[in-house]
Amino acid sequence: MPGLLFVTAAEADYKTVNQALLDLHEWDNDFDSFLLITDKEIINADDYETTSPSLTSLAKNEWSGASMEEIEKHCLQLSKKEEETHCGPLFLVLDTEGVKTRTFVLGHLPYEYHDLDDPETWQGRFEKVRLPWDDTYIMWCNLDIANMGFEEFTVEGQDGEGKGDEEGWFTHKQIGEAGDHITDEGKEKRRREEERLREEGLI
């Protein structure tokens, strides 16, 4: 399933989003894993191509200015209808702070949600963490394939009781060096593509 990317920062233009998407691209195998969500309809992700870092406009974006609570509510509905939407329990948000600090918010539907006999009774919040653009893909990938748990990427999970605050926020703790999941060949591909996009005025 593709990852879902929401852009809520009103000041984020297509160049900013392209720059962020560069860090979400899988450079060693050369594919994009994320789908930029720009409207509020319940979608079937399989009907769309994932988004490459070559946008030329961000004119239509119904999520501009949206709150985290609105996005969580929408993503919960997508997850409840996963067989129809083909949208998993993860999302990314590029908000105003993220534009300033080159970070995403990564949201993750807690494991206890999936253990409920009736998911409609769940009243919790998504687990959320803010992390650098160049650390995001490896965390998302490990969660997507269930190779590691959400808490393993957080201060609370590594050094505490594994619990976030009452709104579901955790503090990111980096594992290894940022970008060390990319081979030297992949890094060179990224450098060349970034150079090309800059020459074409796309970043």
Q: How far apart are CA 148 and CA 60, in angstroms?
A: 35
Instruction: Sketch the domain layout of the chain as residue ranges.
Output: 3-199
Q: What is the mean pLDDT of the chain?
A: 91
pLDDT tens figures, 96-143: 999 999 999 999 998 777 665 666 666 678 999 999 999 999 999 999
Contacting residues for 171 by C-beta, under 8 A, at least 6 apart = 129, 154, 155, 156
pLDDT (average), residues 196-200: 97
* pLDDT value for 199: 97
Task: Tell me the whole-structure pTM to 2 decimals.
Answer: 0.93
Percentage of the chain beyond pLDDT 90 is 69
Residue 6 has pLDDT above 80, yes or no: yes
User: How confident is the model over 150-161, as pLDDT tens digits?
Assistant: 999 999 876 666
Q: What is the mean pLDDT of residues 160-188?
A: 85
What is residue 118's predicted lDDT score, i.e. its pLDDT? Answer: 64
